């Protein structure tokens, strides 16, 4: 009997999205750091985004990963999607693009000037976050959101461990086939 339904979403860490391909359906958890009301694009960062100057990164792993979530399909839903800066959310959607950012000089820490854009607040509480603030090793994944909901109270470290264990189990199974 053929499966006629949509493909299941693959649970993955936001920092591992760079390993996924365009067109894949994914489920990720991230912290909202920016929302542009004009474009309906939400920016998510993973838990514990490493410093751009971190010495633990490798050439194959981006220093910093963000997800740009397109909420346009969800704007007419009731209740409206969560867009509060600092909120932890789950997202299910399709990857629409992958982009690695080349090294770029840092921009000033002035708040974003884009019309309709709410200021970006990183988990350290610092304001900033314009599109020009890219550093070497930064990677952006664009996702068309199908579902978005608040993560509520959660233990981020425990969540990361579970996702890491699931990934290791999946890789082990795939190598045995």
Number of Cβ within 10 Å of residue 123's Cβ equals 12
Give the DSSP letter of residue 49: P
Tokens of 147: 């579902």
Pairing of strands 120-121, 25-36: unpaired
The pLDDT of residue 97 is: 95
pLDDT at 63: 56
Structure confidence at residue 21 (pLDDT): 93
The fourth-level CATH superfamily of domain 10-151 is Nucleic acid-binding proteins (2.40.50.140)
Give the three-class secondary structure for 168. Answer: helix
Q: Residue 2's pLDDT is what?
A: 65
The pLDDT value given to residue 1: 55
Which residues of the chain are modeled with pLDDT < 50?
50-62, 103-135
Closest CA to 42 of 51, 30, 26, 27: 30
Whole-prediction pTM: 0.69
Q: Are the C-beta atoms of 45 and 66 separated by less than 8 Å?
A: yes
Domain positions in the chain are 10-151
Residue 33, helix vs strand vs coil: strand
- Per-residue pLDDT tens digits for 36-45: 999 999 999 9
């Amino acid at each position: 009997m053929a499966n006629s339904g949509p493909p299941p979403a693959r649970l993955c860490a936001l920092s591992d999205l760079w390993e996924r391909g365009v067109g894949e359906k994914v489920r990720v958890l991230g912290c909202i750091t920016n929302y542009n009301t004009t474009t309906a694009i939400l920016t998510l960062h993973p838990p514990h985004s490493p410093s751009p100057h971190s010495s633990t990164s490798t050439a194959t792993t981006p220093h910093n990963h963000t997800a740009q979530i397109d909420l346009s399909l969800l704007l007419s839903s009731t209740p409206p999607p969560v867009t509060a800066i600092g909120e932890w959310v789950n997202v299910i959607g399709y990857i629409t693009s992958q982009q690695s950012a080349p090294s770029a000089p840092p921009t000033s820490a002035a708040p974003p000037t884009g019309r309709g854009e709410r200021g970006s607040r990183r988990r350290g509480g610092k304001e900033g976050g314009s599109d020009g603030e890219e550093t070497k090793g930064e990677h952006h994944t664009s996702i068309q959101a199908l579902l978005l909901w608040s993560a509520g109270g959660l233990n981020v470290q425990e969540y990361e461990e579970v996702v890491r264990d699931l990934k290791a189990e999946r890789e082990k199974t795939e190598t045995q086939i």
